[in-house]
Amino acid sequence: MNETNLETLRHSASHVMAQAVQELFPGVKLGIGPAIENGFYYDFDLPEQLTPEDLVKIEKKMKHIIKQNHKFERVEMKKEEAIRLMEEKGEKYKVEILSELEAEKVTLYKNADFVDLCRGPHVETTGKIKAFKVLSIAGAYWRGIETNPVMQRIYGTAFEKKEDLDKYLENLEEAKKRDHRKLGKELDLFSIHEEAGTGFVYYHPKGATVKNTLENFLKEENLKRGYELVSIPHIAKIDLWNTSGHTNYYKENMYFMQIDEQDYVVKPMNCPGHILIYKRKLTSYRDLPVRYFELGTVYRYEKSGVLHGLLRVRGFTQDDAHIFCRLDQLEDEIISVLDFIHYIMQVFKFDYEVKLSTRPEKYAGTIENWDKATAILEKSLQDRNVPFEVDPGEGVFYGPKIDVKLKDALGRVWQGPTVQVDFNLPQRFDLIYTANDGSKQTPVMVHRAILGSIERFLGALIEHYAGAFPLWLAPVQVSLLPITDSHLDYADKIAQQLQQRGFRVEIDKRNEKIGAKIRNAQLQKIPYMLIVGDKELESETVSVRHRKEGDLGTKNIAEILDQLCQDVDNRA
RNA sequence: GCCGGGAUAGCUCAGUUGGCAGAGCAACGCAUUCGUAAUGCGUAGGUCGUGGGUUCGAUUCCCAUUCCCGGCUCCA
């Protein structure tokens, strides 16, 4: 079944659901019921609050309707006539939609006694809907506008075949198991504390190890590519943010404080800081491009309801860089950022999709510059044979951008790297460089982040790997499992040898049987377990067990070190 | 921020129609010294998220508040 048909099927299912709800709860007012990416929903205005039990009833009723195999009939009528019909039925939301339609004639779809305003198309009969499930209830503003009344939205999904539905439901289960908040607790990675403030992350030793490993990796990769490390304070006087314009268009997200009758801001972004560093001296055209990199921690106030584990927080660290260059250098810079992104993404085995966002209605700078920059972004993508889609008008007001969406092991999509051209800040801060003719010119600025926020990326990584980090990232890389207490000294000796080579090692010294120690190490998703008993002690070896491959047999120290080094090098 | 649901031991959860608070895992102790996913016995652990109210008595009912969960809106 192709996508259009699946959409039709799901949309038809949403009609059936609305019909079921209407039969079960007379007096319900209908909102809208579209097909969405993984299913469909329908919004209802109901005096009583729906419960999970109601969902079961609704699903039953739907099955009944489907069994009766009603025909979906297309009815065309004049708009006024349709408005009258919906007014009679008391469907005020439908009337609202209809009166905003410009067409003279509208279509309605009818199955049995149920009529709904709808563009269609639909499957021929309700009986065509075979594999479906009602999933959940949630509140949703009418037409998505915050000031509108809240409706009850019921989500469901439908597939052509039962196998597809089952697979989807299994996928949902798998996603639940991989939830980074659950794994974060189970693997002792991080916590968020009520008394310290929601949205602020505390990394435990293991989580901090992963974060630190990621950060070191990024630093090295940035240095390799000609970026220079900078570092800026977390607080700056409000004047800086007045110049940058943030106090204007970003103030809802900023933390303010007053000290000695001076207003200060906790930085929500790093760019103004990097700009001050650029401005410390006169820059020659020969010095460009200047590339400043920082693991910059920023603080942004986010509405309480949007916070979500590591994925949406109030304090986070960006792998942020700002490139100051001449317009004629822009293309090369963009291309090398694209290569950089590609390299990093394949390290983590993420597939990705690319979007090019163009000029929005409100914008800073000249149209000529916008067109030039957009053309350069486009050309760079073509140059590297990166397939991309254009998101018209989705650029930031200060310049066009390239957004990269990561696809994880379950096929879910995450916001990833971003590359943004900026004409606005160089002007606001009067950035200049001296051109070869001695004139003062304004450089172009590029904002880019590869991982985006370390917090969000780490959250995505946990789910991508289901908590089983590859060896180079694993907080504990090797667990030594002595068979009995008499092997503790030997385990210590091996551990020291591995530690000296830079590996993160742990010894399970508990008075437990080997089965229990293995189980614990497996649950902690530790890549390598080294079992040591009498045999190993005598022969100066270890028994190697890999968390995925199981028993790998006996190896001597040189062999296991070799294997570990290989895995780290391959980032396997 | 908005709508709805929640908060009980370190973790996962049960429970009280208002009357001394429960299990498994983890921790600790003792025994056991064991070969590839859980050895046995015992000990300790709680202002039942926080603040008010109703009541002879509140973990339970009511109100407020904080935080969490599912969405909406917004976003890295």
Q: Are A526 and A547 in contact (CB under 8 A)?
A: yes
In this predicted model, what pLDDT tens digit does every residue of A157-179 receive, in sequence order? Answer: 999 989 999 999 998 889 999 99
Q: Are A477 and A526 in contact (CB under 8 A)?
A: yes
Q: Are A321 and A445 in contact (CB under 8 A)?
A: no
Q: Which nucleotide is nearest to A138 (CA to C1')?
A: B71
Q: Which nucleotide is nearest to A142 (CA to C1')?
A: B72
What does CATH list as the number for A478-569? 3.40.50.800
Which comes out higher in pLDDT, residue A400 or A362? A400
Q: How many CB atoms lie within 10 A of CB A485?
A: 9
State how beta strands A388-391 and A351-357 pair. Answer: parallel
Radius of gyration of chain A (CA): 29
State how beta strands A401-407 and A351-357 pair. Answer: antiparallel
C1’ B34 / CA A541, Å: 20
pLDDT of residue A428: 92
Q: Which nucleotide is nearest to A199 (CA to C1')?
A: B67
Q: Which residue is nearest to nucleotide B37 (CA to C1')?
A: A519
The mean pLDDT of chain A is 92
Query: In chain A, helix, strand, coil percent, each to 5?
Result: 40, 30, 30
A60/A96 Cα distance (integer angstroms): 31
Q: State how far the alpha carbon of A267 is from the alpha carbons of A256, A293, A557, in Å.
A: 9, 16, 49
Q: Which residue is nearest to nucleotide B73 (CA to C1')?
A: A146
Q: Are A190 and A316 in contact (CB under 8 A)?
A: no
A395 three-class SS = coil
pLDDT of residue A518: 96
Q: Which nucleotide is nearest to A552 (CA to C1')?
A: B36
User: In A296-405, which ranges are continuous DSSP H helix?
Assistant: 330-347, 367-383
Q: How confident is the model at residue A382 (pLDDT cuts 50, 70, 90)?
A: very high
Query: What are the residues facing A263 on neighbouring strands?
Result: A258
Q: What is the mean pLDDT of residues A230-244?
A: 96
Q: How confident is the model at residue A3 (pLDDT cuts 50, 70, 90)?
A: low
Task: To the nearest 10°, report the CA torsion of A227, A229, A234, A237.
Answer: -70
Q: What is the mean pLDDT of residues A537-552?
A: 96
User: In A69-161, which ranges are continuous DSSP H helix?
Assistant: 79-89, 92-100
End-to-end CA distance of chain A: 37
C1’ B30 / CA A492, Å: 26
C1’ B26 / CA A279, Å: 56
Q: Are A377 and A400 in contact (CB under 8 A)?
A: yes
Q: How confident is the model at residue A2 (pLDDT cuts 50, 70, 90)?
A: low
Asked if the model's pLDDT at residue A415 lies above 90, the reply is no
Asked if the model's pLDDT at residue A418 lies above 90, the reply is yes
In this predicted model, what pLDDT tens digit does every residue of A17-48 receive, in sequence order? Answer: 999 998 888 888 899 988 888 899 999 998 87
A47/A29 Cα distance (integer angstroms): 10
A97/A411 Cα distance (integer angstroms): 35
- ipTM for the complex? 0.94
Q: How confident is the model at residue A525 (pLDDT cuts 50, 70, 90)?
A: very high
- Crossing angle (nearest 10°) for helices A205-224 and A454-465: 110
Q: Which nucleotide is nearest to A148 (CA to C1')?
A: B2
Percentage with pLDDT > 90 across chain A: 68
C1’ B53 / CA A374, Å: 64
Residue A566: exposure state from Cβ atoms within 10 A (0-12, 13-18, ≥19): exposed
What does CATH list as the number for A212-464? 3.30.930.10
Q: What is the mean pLDDT of residues A357-368?
A: 86
Q: What is the mean pLDDT of residues A374-380?
A: 94
Catalytic machinery residues of A: 271, 300, 318, 320, 322, 401, 447
C1’ B29 / CA A505, Å: 28
User: In A366-483, which ranges are continuous DSSP H helix?
Assistant: 367-383, 424-428, 454-465
Q: Are A200 and A313 in contact (CB under 8 A)?
A: yes
In this predicted model, what pLDDT tens digit does every residue of A251-265 receive, in sequence order? Answer: 999 999 999 999 999
State how beta strands A235-237 and A255-259 pair. Answer: unpaired
Which CATH architecture does the domain made up of A3-172 adopt? 2-Layer Sandwich (3.30)
Residue-range domain boundaries for chain A: 3-172, 212-464, 478-569
A102 three-class SS = coil
Asked if the model's pLDDT at residue A542 lies above 80, the reply is yes
Asked if the model's pLDDT at residue A1 lies above 60, the reply is no
C1’ B24 / CA A529, Å: 27
Residue A468: exposure state from Cβ atoms within 10 A (0-12, 13-18, ≥19): middle
pLDDT of residue A409: 84
Asked if the model's pLDDT at residue A202 lies above 80, the reply is yes
Q: Are A243 and A428 in contact (CB under 8 A)?
A: yes
Q: Which nucleotides of B are covered by protein (CB under 7 A)?
A: 1-5, 11-12, 27, 30-39, 66-76
Among A143-152, A181-190, A485-494, the range scoring the smallest mean pLDDT is A143-152
